[in-house]
Structure 1
Amino acid sequence: MHMVLEAAGGNVLLLSDALGPASGGRAVSLALAFGREPRREAFGQVADGGRVQYPFEPQPWGAHDGELEDKYGVRRQVVQQ
């Protein structure tokens, strides 16, 4: 994540760059951030019927992170700090 913006009511908007150009109307990606929730299970459920781009695993900065495209073609990033 490169930017976090807190909006009205405590809603959080996470902004980041993309690894490649957006095509086919896929200019939006969703990020799901978890604290202690069962994040690995959530990643698997969202990935069901889709395509995993980067598996959900520990990252060098200390968080767990994974990226996928769900069965509807929406790109998602799942993060656990």
Structure 2
Amino acid sequence: MTREECGRLRYEARYAIRAVLVERGLSMSELGRRIGVTAELVSATVRGKKHSPRVLDALRDSGVPEQYLFDPRFARDKAA
């Protein structure tokens, strides 16, 4: 799976990602503050425009299911 495909799939899952964050009482701004990045980077990663490993790991640690993350670092492993 290419980075572009990962981004498109994550874009389609963006509302599910946001719902998990809301369940956990987290906004994208708060998640960004906790990991030392901007809210804009968190938002761009959730929307599939960026692929920040730091944000993807924080989303994973916050309880976002792997099925919504489409992390390009691991996409090759899944395709094999």
What is the TM-score with the length of structure 2 in the denominator?
0.27
Bigger fraction of residues in helix: 2
- State the structure with more CA Rg: 1
What is the TM-score with the length of structure 1 in the denominator?
0.27
